[in-house]
Structure 1
Amino acid sequence: MKEKIQQQIFDEWLKKHKGLIFKILRAYAFTPMDREDLFQDITIQLWHSIPKFRGDSAVATWIYRVALNIAIKWIKKEQKTPRPESLEKAEHLLYENDFKMDDRLVWLYEQISQLSEIDRSITLLLLDDFSYKEMANILGITESNIGVKINRIKKQLIVKSKKYEHDGI
């Protein structure tokens, strides 16, 4: 594949599907620096994956598959190599965020971040209206397993949301 064509495809994919990449970043990386690192890892892998894309699935499905696989690998690597405390303390100086996100959305992402890697992936795919079949295909598990996990995740989030509403957190 010629690099010019690959670049056009890459630019088109990022423009059209950046929202799903940002959802994955928000669910797997919790600081701006980590999000930048993960974004870079995902986009590099996405670039390299373009020649392998055969069109057997939708582009969004392919991007999810690549991004979730990288995010899961990245989080495992990050857990093995903790960030020095001095960076944690100085990070706020590098990134000032004037954007105020809805408290309910902050709460939801916080709850999603506490799920296992596979449950996080399922939740994000569910929020983007992927079918059970598509989710199973992306994650490499059965459709019935997807259904069971979704029911458990929903029950868990319902219980937590009632506590959130009751406590006025």
Structure 2
Amino acid sequence: MLEQHKRVIYKVCYLYAGDTAQLDDLYQETVLNLWRAFSGFRGESSPATWVYRISLNTCISFRRKSVRQLQAVTLPVNLEVFDEDDGNRKARLAELYRLIHALGPLERALILLWLEDRSYDEIARIMGMARNNVGVRLNRIREKLKNMSNQ
């Protein structure tokens, strides 16, 4: 299951880490939490939903515990994990993740799930909120990202 959802776990951690060392630590902590929680997985949701939920909770808890708040992203991370296309696409992807990293933790989690083509219903289950609330928040987040990219 870890191998199957490795990219998803990495993406979630990427959005909450301040640098490469933090990213590695957060990824490892997330994998450890998934391993610990696996015996309690009852199959009431899809494995992907369960992995997202554990990953997001781990990252959000990590963020709350963090003493300092990062103002900018300085992640010299290898973006080949996300996409193997041309450099221009990688540059756009890096810019998108930079903008997403500037969002609050809840906004980051919502937009990440949306970018993974999760349905509003699945996002609502993962995040523990109403489906309509997901739609409203995502519209606001997309508008916010658009405004941030135009500055």
Q: TM-score range by the shorter chain?
A: 0.7 to 0.9
Shift in CA distance, 98/137, structure 1 to aligned 2, threshold 3 Å: closer
Please report the RMSD computed on the Cα atoms of aligned residues, expressed in angstroms: 2.3
What TM-score do the two structures reach when normalised by structure 1?
A: 0.75
Q: CA deviation at 1:68?
A: 0.0
Tell me the TM-score normalised to structure 2 length: 0.83
Q: Match of 2:8? A: 20
Alpha-carbon offset, residue 59 of structure 1: 0.4
Measured after TM superposition, the shift of residue 117 of structure 1 is 0.6
Residues 96-140 of structure 1: per-residue CA shift (max 9 Å, x gap): 969778211111001111111111000110011111111111111
For the 8 Å contact 2:16–2:63, the answer to whether it is kept is yes
For the residues of structure 1 that align with 2:99 and 2:29, how far apart are their CA atoms?
24
**Gapped regions of structure 2 (runs ≥ 5):** 70-74, 81-86
**Cα deviation, residue 30, structure 1:** 2.6
Q: Secondary structure at the match of 1:16?
A: coil
2:91 aligned residue: 103
Match of 2:135 in 1: 147
Pair 1:53–1:120, CA change in 2 (3 A): same
CA distance in structure 2 between the aligned counterparts of 1:81 and 1:145, rounded to whole angstroms: 30
Deviations 1:19-71 (A, max 9, x none): 10111111110311100110111011000111111111110000000000000
Name structure 1 gaps, 5 residues minimum: 1-12, 83-91, 165-169
Distance 1:96 1:157, change over 3 A: closer
User: What letter corresponds to residue 21 of structure 2 in structure 1?
Assistant: M
SS in 2 for 1:15: coil
1:157 Cα offset (Å): 1.7
SS of the residue corresponding to residue 117 of structure 2 reads coil
Letter in 2 for 1:18: K
Who wins on radius of gyration, i.e. which is larger?
Answer: 1
- Structure-1 residue corresponding to 2:58: 70
Q: Tell me if the contact between 2:52 and 2:126 (Cα under 8 Å) persists in the aligned partners.
A: yes
Aligned match for 2:46, one of 32, 55, 58: 58
Between Structure 1 and Structure 2, the one with more helix by share is 1
2:28 alignment partner in structure 1? 40
How many residues are matched? 139
Q: Tell me whether 1:49 sits opposite 2:37 in the alignment.
A: yes
Counterpart amino acid of residue 34 in structure 1: Q
Per the alignment, residue 120 of structure 2 pairs with 132
Letter of the structure 2 residue corresponding to residue 157 of structure 1: L
Letter in 2 for 1:30: G
Percentage of identical aligned residues: 37
Residue of 114, 131, 135 corresponding to 2:102: 114
User: Aligned partners of 1:98 and 1:113: how far apart in 2?
Assistant: 15
